[in-house]
Structure 1
């Protein structure tokens, strides 16, 4: 099975990031960037879709980005947009981002059961590690989301004097002083960012005789320490993010849940070579736990889950960031553990550098990537459960630096099929 995700403007993990201003040697008199990129994709569930995405960066404030995309097919349609990293008046440390997407999709798939439905003791819970990929709900419906994010750059390390860090690039690679990576000390190196995110999700499934829908209105509080040399495309250093998310069953949200998240990455530079301007080994470890998640049993020993995050939040695996060889949100449970390794090989050659009609892409480099991933969800946070019967996948990726953004096309293979993902940003 080949599936595809739209690339523009999807919320990455972690929620916080370093606020940056980029100056490219190729455009010394212009700090502004713009990019318009038409695209098409064809999937088994959505058919052929055409779309266009665009972004403007540095036009009002040097670190601020405005972007959007729209696409459509025979049944599917969507529109997304937002403003990222707007510095609030009278401060250079507080940044606001507002973004969202509204879409309608054929054959939406959710690896979950009906809410409150009891599962017999001899059957795995839908979406659990032992579940079948035939255990899902599927129907046409809406999938909408909207986020508001407030970030504060703490006054030490690389952001001691200002919440904004400036970088000079040549050929898409850092030539100015790195912001971190040489020592691990938040007071001296790297940037520390606090984030408060309010996020909302709505999804519906329009079956023949009824419609199921669900809503999330949740908060996330997190802290990021980014001690890499260049946060957009790190070659050495590390990054750590710790957060807690909570839905108090506000408004249309129908149940309460809590999720704790730890995300850690490490990068090793192998230097350059004859054909590579940069060679990097990138490692990522992610784990999470939902203390509110519990099982309820009936008199027949069947069970159902309550106090859990929805299948597309919390301890979940599968999709364009983690376990790319599996469908989006294929696995979910009370606890999760995940690890990945990537080898990133940035080519010296730029095949379109001298092609005038392609210069609108602002392409600085192409990167070849090979990766492997392992992960596991479970009903408890015990090594005896999370370190056995793990899932794995592997794949390759072609990435490009365009107008200061990393755009990637990943192909991943797992025991359940092959997936194609087109996205913005490295997965970590």
Structure 2
């Protein structure tokens, strides 16, 4: 995901993912370090994109802003991105640098990015951490909970991340820390980085990551203000054995990580969380109307061993030592279970699986539209998907594979300046949601 990490900022911010500002990032924290050379670009790997945007929602009202990115200008794999937006109540500004190769090194990369935002009617499917939930009432966010169990108020949602990544000297990054891709019409024409055999020593790229991440969120009710802070560390490793990490058509990837908050500084809750993310891709080749037909599968599971329940003397319950509702075993939103609200479900454990059929069109309706050339749009992709998952207070097969939540949807995606942008519409028995994001969900 080369510059794709920058996508995290531009996706959540510049392309209207601001509608769900309280979420943490659900995609793997580690990414293959790449540079992309598009044959349509005369100055090789240098890319820039500036997009003014305007959006309106029931909770945020009308907002206007601008987002942009620069890639390949200082180092060919490095990306700078940022955005600013504002509305009647909401406002935000974000800035980041991704994949800066540390001086005099070949394999160490630094990324740092953050965002300050204020939003009306923030919603969290959780309870007041100090209050006990009465016996007989499902815990907010649990698999059996009602979608009416939430907190909602105006407030801030700020975050700041720093991460160091190391590209191991094996496989596709045996000789150098980056993979270089060459594209024509948005399709890979250079040597694939993986996908032929599952062997980290010979194929694919392996990346280790150390991430320090910080979150602050507040809810300003009429009579009180609730807020919370985390200062956590994540240690993870990614093995990406796909042909083209930005838009895979074959191969697989696996990511495992452990996160921990030791209640440092003003963080007042200790917790640990582990997760495993696995994807597999099958190419069905081209057809009369498609340059690619891809079946993409994903399985994710998470578990918080520190998660516990305390009881009062009348059977009331509250959760302690748990990962926050938007950081741990969480489902719902623009990465997992898109037919449900952001971070709708969370518990001690979770499983999730999805299947997508990605159909990349040969026809590009804006290819010859001169005033849209600045978008550098190479292809459109039509996607159908189904998802299933659930959260659970225990990690057992009988519980996790019963009473699964399900949804389905369609997506329109485009490759712009080497970046995948998607518009998803998903339906569940609770809601129909639309998401605008950058990058595939997996």
After TM superposition, give the deviation of residue 383 of structure 1 in Å.
Answer: 1.0
Given candidates 242, 249, 255, the residue that maps to 1:228 is: 242
**Alignment partner of 1:83: what SS?**
strand
Structure 1 Cα separation of the partners of residues 45 and 33 of structure 2:
15
User: What is aligned with 1:397?
Assistant: 411
After TM superposition, give the deviation of residue 6 of structure 1 in Å.
Answer: 3.4
User: What is aligned with 1:48?
Assistant: 62
Alignment of 1:114 with 2:128, yes or no, is yes
Kindly indicate whether the alpha-carbon contact (under 8 Å) linking 2:215 and 2:231 is maintained by their aligned counterparts in 1. Answer: yes
Structure 2 Cα separation of the partners of residues 328 and 111 of structure 1:
9
Kindly indicate whether the alpha-carbon contact (under 8 Å) linking 2:54 and 2:63 is maintained by their aligned counterparts in 1. Answer: yes
Given candidates 48, 72, 90, the residue that maps to 1:34 is: 48
Deviations 1:102-134 (A, max 9, x none): 110000001111113111221100000000011
Structure 1 Cα separation of the partners of residues 57 and 20 of structure 2:
17
After TM superposition, give the deviation of residue 5 of structure 1 in Å.
Answer: 2.4
Structure 1 Cα separation of the partners of residues 20 and 82 of structure 2:
7
User: What is aligned with 2:266?
Assistant: 252
**Alignment partner of 2:18: what SS?**
coil
Alignment of 1:129 with 2:129, yes or no, is no
Deviations 1:223-249 (A, max 9, x none): 000000000000000000000000000
Structure 2 Cα separation of the partners of residues 368 and 81 of structure 1:
31
Kindly indicate whether the alpha-carbon contact (under 8 Å) linking 2:291 and 2:361 is maintained by their aligned counterparts in 1. Answer: yes
User: What is aligned with 2:7?
Assistant: none
User: What is aligned with 1:210?
Assistant: 224
Correspondence list, 1:261-280, <5 A: 261-280=275-294
Kindly indicate whether the alpha-carbon contact (under 8 Å) linking 1:88 and 1:95 is maintained by their aligned counterparts in 2. Answer: yes
Alignment of 1:359 with 2:373, yes or no, is yes
Change (3 A) 1:12 1:350: farther
Structure 2 Cα separation of the partners of residues 427 and 246 of structure 1:
24
Given candidates 357, 360, 363, the residue that maps to 1:343 is: 357
Alignment of 1:194 with 2:208, yes or no, is yes
**Alignment partner of 1:416: what SS?**
coil
Structure 1 Cα separation of the partners of residues 269 and 312 of structure 2:
20
Given candidates 157, 173, 181, the residue that maps to 1:167 is: 181
User: What is aligned with 2:311?
Assistant: 297
Structure 2 Cα separation of the partners of residues 191 and 37 of structure 1:
32
Structure 1 Cα separation of the partners of residues 287 and 339 of structure 2:
30
Deviations 1:264-308 (A, max 9, x none): 000000100011000100000000100000111122122111110
Structure 1 Cα separation of the partners of residues 398 and 225 of structure 2:
40
Structure 2 Cα separation of the partners of residues 63 and 340 of structure 1:
30
Structure 1 Cα separation of the partners of residues 254 and 106 of structure 2:
23
After TM superposition, give the deviation of residue 400 of structure 1 in Å.
Answer: 0.6
Structure 2 Cα separation of the partners of residues 328 and 295 of structure 1:
24
Structure 2 Cα separation of the partners of residues 402 and 13 of structure 1:
20
Q: Aligned-residue CA RMSD in angstroms?
A: 1.3
After TM superposition, give the deviation of residue 8 of structure 1 in Å.
Answer: 12
Change (3 A) 1:110 1:122: same
User: What is aligned with 1:319?
Assistant: 333
Deviations 1:68-94 (A, max 9, x none): 111111111111120000000010100
- My pick for the range that moved more, 264-273 or 41-50, is 41-50
After TM superposition, give the deviation of residue 145 of structure 1 in Å.
Answer: 0.5
After TM superposition, give the deviation of residue 209 of structure 1 in Å.
Answer: 1.3
Runs (4 or more) in structure 1 with deviation over 3 Å come to 6-12
How many residue pairs match? The answer is 425
After TM superposition, give the deviation of residue 186 of structure 1 in Å.
Answer: 0.1
**Alignment partner of 1:6: what SS?**
helix
Kindly indicate whether the alpha-carbon contact (under 8 Å) linking 2:112 and 2:161 is maintained by their aligned counterparts in 1. Answer: yes
After TM superposition, give the deviation of residue 11 of structure 1 in Å.
Answer: 4.2
Alignment of 1:6 with 2:18, yes or no, is yes
Kindly indicate whether the alpha-carbon contact (under 8 Å) linking 2:20 and 2:342 is maintained by their aligned counterparts in 1. Answer: no
Deviations 1:147-187 (A, max 9, x none): 00100000000000000110110000100000000000000
Change (3 A) 1:29 1:119: closer
Kindly indicate whether the alpha-carbon contact (under 8 Å) linking 2:54 and 2:62 is maintained by their aligned counterparts in 1. Answer: yes
Deviations 1:307-334 (A, max 9, x none): 1011111000011100111111111000
